[in-house]
Amino acid sequence: MTIETILPIPDMFAAKRILCIQPHYDDNDIGAAGILAQLAQNGAEIIYLTVTNDLMGVVDDSLSEAEAAEALKRDQFAAGKIVGVKEQFWLGYPDAGEYNYFDVRRDLLAHIRHIQPDFVFAPDPWLTYEGHRDHIQTGLAATEAVMFSGLTKIASSDPAVDATYRGHDIHGIAFYFTREPNVIVDIASTWETKQAVLRCYEAQFDPAGLDELVMALDMKSRQAAAGQGFEQGEPLKVLHTSALHCGI
């Protein structure tokens, strides 16, 4: 017996309900739209949860806050339709603002206990040189909420959910935006889809910015696929939920 037989890399393609937790409206798609589109095609329910209101990234300064929020949601729904996202949730914390980490963790615990995903996606909070606190807090709160979902002594923000929750299995967590990937997925079949998804985010990128984003992600996908036997890949760190503590 080896540690790999006890804690194998979980198979995300066996997942039936996947909760993708992101700090901003476009992070799941920038990090993993190629894979998520494949998982949706594979029959998994894909659910997005966005932690912040993302208002700081809106490029058109003439929009009111309400108009900017509407534009962000319109883009996100358009992108989600292409990926195959079934449902979306928003926590609305202030983008790049001051908010409490434990409030986010309580909200994520409530959603995980309510939605009961068998796989969770989130940004890697340990990405070296990640300077955006929203990404670090979201990734860490998602990790802790996955680890602690079965420990109902740790209260969520929804007592009614906690009262009826009887536990469920989360098979794994997949971190995108990672510098230590252990899975590279061939996204050649969904690269066109990913480009179409990215081009929905018009509120956050001007046309030149979108061209640059697509070009940069194209190059990154080719870099990730080097030596893998395919052209374009998305890198993930995929961990068994028991591997999230003490380096086991």
Q: Which stretch binds Zn ion (CB under 5 A): 26-34, 107-115, 191-199, 227-235?
A: 26-34
75 binds Zn ion (CB under 5 A): no
Query: Which of 22/149 has CB closer to Zn ion?
Result: 22
DSSP E strand stretches across the chain: 17-22, 45-52, 85-93, 119-123, 172-176, 183-186, 233-239
52 or 156, CB closer to Zn ion?
Answer: 52
C-alpha distance from residue 23 to each of 28, 57, 115, 200, 219 (Å): 9, 12, 18, 18, 24
- C-alpha–C-alpha distance, residues 184 and 196, integer Å: 21
10 φ/ψ angles, rounded to the nearest 5 degrees: -65, 150
**Using the rule CB under 5 A, is 24 a contact of Zn ion?**
yes
Interaction of residue 23 with Zn ion, rule CB under 5 A:
yes
Give the shortest CB-75-to-Zn ion separation in angstroms.
Answer: 14
| Selected range binding Zn ion among 1-9, 18-26, 111-119, 149-157, rule: CB under 5 A | 18-26
Among 20, 27, 203, 224, binds Zn ion (CB under 5 A): 27
> Residue 198, interface with Zn ion (CB under 5 A)?
no
For residue 228, which phi and psi values (nearest 5 degrees)? -95, -15
Contacting range for Zn ion; rule: CB under 5 A; set: 15-23, 81-89, 144-152, 232-240: 15-23
Beta carbon nearer to Zn ion, 115 or 127 = 127
Q: How far apart are CA 120 and CA 118, in angstroms?
A: 7
Q: Which residues lie across from 121 on neighbouring strands? A: 20, 174
Looking at beta carbons only, is 44 or 217 nearer to Zn ion?
217
Please report the DSSP string for 19-78 in residue order: EEEESSTTHHHHHHHHHHHHHHHTT-EEEEEEEE--GGG-S-TTS-HHHHHHHHHHHHHH
Stretch in the footprint of Zn ion (CB under 5 A) among 20-28, 86-94, 169-177, 193-201: 20-28
Check residue 235 for interaction with Zn ion (CB under 5 A).
no
Restricted to residues 29-48, the positions that interact with Zn ion (CB under 5 A) are none
- Least Å distance, CB 236 to Zn ion, is 17
Strand partners, 50: 22, 90
Q: Helix, strand, or coil here: 1?
A: coil
Contacting positions for Zn ion (CB under 5 A): 23-24, 27
